[in-house]
Each structure stands twice: as structure tokens, then as C-alpha cells.
Amino acid sequence: MKITAKAPANIAFIKYWGKKDETLRLPMNSSISMNLSGVYTTTEVEFSDNLESDQVRLDGKLAEGKERERVVKFLELVRKLAKINTRAEVSSKNNFPKGTGIASSASGFAALALASTSAAGLSLSEKELSILSRKGSGSACRSIPDGFVEWKAGDTNYTSYAHSLYQSDYWDIVDVIAIVGRKSKKVSSTEGHAKAYSSPFYKTRISGMKKKVRDIKAALSDKNFTKFGEIVESEALNMHAVMMTSEPSLIYWYPETLSLIHEVKDWRRDGLEVYFTIDAGPNLHLICLGKEVYKLKNKLKKLEVDEIIVSRACDGARILYKK
């Protein structure tokens, strides 16, 4: 059977950076995110006896090298679970540029996990799917549950998974992505995670993570947007300080990234309550409440921003079609 699944990207308010187990992708700390309605991957999977090898198409192009290997490795996990040996045809499309700090691996592996397990005849629970997606890309486990999500770090394969804290309609938080760079990043997040330990600030970062998770959960529960935004922004800078001071250093920002950071601070001083966060790429995610989106978009239109993508919180991975 051919299965088509769709999964959103997610933005981490509290980030995952650094692992305690490479193969299982067990993170050093828990993280908190929101699924993004405007950026997603749609993936089709069909297993067939007629195929001699896995066929992987990403955004219409036949994948090769490392990109293909990562998908094939994931399909091996699915075959093992389903006790099958057939090869698969996979076709995956993003509605946004990949490798630019808009978690394409998150939406990609979440959609692949759901489509491939279902095409292999499995029916996994949300927790099982989250665990499986995590092995493709850590942050993918957060694109399985709905709305606002927590990935509990855990210590073992079965205790490290994501669950929903609140449904999408809980709070009208908007993520406005400002695309300032479209080139694929030179250092993938997988490589970046492995370098985190080389930063002299990493230990300090990790020692503060439990409190940060508690604090942001309190801000979410109280719907205290100022508190929430302050934590989100300082968390992003904290992670980038670790990236920048790793060996070799990882600088994902472009000059446009920094100049937009200054704009955001100015806008806030002028009364527009908006905060930024940045993943492993140059693009900014600007976080505001729904009532401020119009004003924020107008401000952005006056700057040199390539494209603006507006997202609200949304459901996690879903099956679209079965044929």
C-alpha cells in the first residue's frame, strides 16, 4: 500500500544541543517546542517486491550519498520492526528551503516514520512513533505529538520521547520566520551536536537546563508572554554561544541575522512585543502573539528579508492518504 503522511517542522523554545548517546540520539537535556503550521514535509512511501534497492526522492531529485544513506538506515529500522525485507520507494517534499535552520530533518523524519511504518503494515502508538523518529533526527520526535510539545530527555531508548503539553489552540503564539539566507548550511546539526562538548561553556549550559525547562513550562501554564519570550530569546543566545565557542567554531549567523536581532530589540523598546529564536542556520524565528502579527509583518516588509513565513501551532504528523 502507498501511504502519504504530512508532518510539520517545529521550533524549539528550549533547544536540544548535544547528545549523551550518538546512535540512539539521546539528548543531554529535555526540550520544549511548538509545531509550525506553515512549514511541513509531505512524504509518500510504498514497499514493493519489484524493487532491488530503496529509491529515495527528496524534493523531486533522486537522493545520493549521505542523504540517501540516512533514509535507507531509517528504513532498515522499520523493516526490522515489521519483519519484512522488501525495498521501498520514498518521495518526500518540503514546502520550504532545507538546511537553513527550519528543521527540515524534523518534519522529514517525522513524516517518514509515520508513512513508512504504516506502509509496512505497522500501527505504532504516538510514543512509539516519537521514539522511532528520534533515531532519524532528534528533533523529529517533537513533530509527532500535537501543538506545544515536550521532549523528555530520558536515559534509554524507551524513556526518551516527546508528548503534547497543550493542544494547538491553547495559546495564540505566532512564529514569523524571516528568511535571510537560503544556502544549505556547511555543518549539519548532526556534526554540530558532536562538537558541543568542546565549548568551555557547555557544562554551564547543561547545568541550567532543568530550571529553564521548569521556568518556560510555568510561563506557558500562566500564559505569561513576556516571561516566555525572555526565556526563549536568552535560550537561543545561550545555545549559539556554545556553537560559536565550539572547536572548530560554528557560526550559523549571517550579517543579516545580527542586524535583524538589533531591529527586534528596537521594535521591542518601541512597544512591539516580539522575541527571536534561531536554530542551526541564519534565519530568525520571530515569536509574537497573534494580535501583533500584522504590525510585525509590516516592519519586516521594509527590511531586506527574502521571505516571511507565518506559522501558528498545529497538529503533529498525520496520514493524508492510503492507496
Choose, by CB under 6 A, the member of 13, 16, 96, 275 that binds ligand PMV. Answer: 16
User: Contact between 153 and ligand PMV (CB under 6 A)?
Assistant: no
Residue 270 DSSP label: T
The C-alpha cell of 320 is what?
493524508
User: Contact between 279 and ligand PMV (CB under 6 A)?
Assistant: yes
- Residues touching ligand PMV, count (CB under 6 A): 16
- The closest alpha carbon to 33, from 159, 131, 142, 168, belongs to 142
Choose the binding region for ligand PMV from 76-84, 120-128, 161-169, 185-193 (rule: CB under 6 A).
Answer: 185-193
Residue type, position 321, single letter: Y
Q: Mark 33-72 with x for binding to ligand PMV (rule: CB under 6 A) and - for no binding.
A: ----------------------------------------
Choose, by CB under 6 A, the member of 154, 190, 201, 217 that binds ligand PMV. Answer: 190
Q: How near is the Cβ of 136 to ligand PMV at its closest, in Å?
A: 9
User: Contact between 139 and ligand PMV (CB under 6 A)?
Assistant: yes
User: Can you say whether the dihedral through the CA atoms of 122, 104, 247, 243 is positive or negative?
Assistant: negative
Choose the binding region for ligand PMV from 101-109, 174-182, 290-298, 306-314 (rule: CB under 6 A).
Answer: 101-109
Residue written as grid cell 562538548: 197
Choose, by CB under 6 A, the member of 29, 37, 94, 137 that binds ligand PMV. Answer: 137
Q: How near is the Cβ of 78 to ligand PMV at its closest, in Å?
A: 19
Nearer to ligand PMV, 109 or 267 (CB): 109
Contact 96, 279 (CB under 8 A): no
Beta strands in 49-189 (DSSP E): 55-58, 61-62, 87-94, 148-152, 161-166, 173-179
Choose the binding region for ligand PMV from 112-120, 136-144, 300-308, 315-323 (rule: CB under 6 A).
Answer: 136-144
Backbone angles phi, psi at 228, to 5 degrees: -60, -50
Nearer to ligand PMV, 51 or 194 (CB): 194
User: Contact between 6 and ligand PMV (CB under 6 A)?
Assistant: no
Choose the binding region for ligand PMV from 14-22, 34-42, 260-268, 296-304 (rule: CB under 6 A).
Answer: 14-22
Choose, by CB under 6 A, the member of 5, 6, 15, 91 that binds ligand PMV. Answer: 15
Nearer to ligand PMV, 19 or 68 (CB): 19
Choose, by CB under 6 A, the member of 108, 138, 229, 316 that binds ligand PMV. Answer: 138
Choose the binding region for ligand PMV from 55-63, 103-111, 266-274, 313-321 (rule: CB under 6 A).
Answer: 103-111
10 Å CB burial of residue 151 (0-12, 13-18, 19+) is buried
10 Å CB burial of residue 295 (0-12, 13-18, 19+) is middle
Choose, by CB under 6 A, the member of 91, 92, 189, 257 that binds ligand PMV. Answer: 189
In angstroms, the CA 264 to CA 271 distance is 11
- The answer for residues whose C-beta is within 8 angstroms of residue 205's C-beta and 6 or more apart is 17, 199, 238, 239, 241, 242
Nearer to ligand PMV, 28 or 78 (CB): 28
The CA-based angle 221-226-227, given to 5 degrees, is: 55
- The closest alpha carbon to 189, from 104, 283, 108, belongs to 104
User: Contact between 105 and ligand PMV (CB under 6 A)?
Assistant: yes
Q: Which helix (H) or strand (E) holds 3?
A: strand 3-14
- The closest alpha carbon to 267, from 233, 221, 218, belongs to 233
Binding residues (CB under 6 A) for ligand PMV: these are 12, 15-17, 31, 103, 105-106, 137-139, 189-190, 193, 279-280
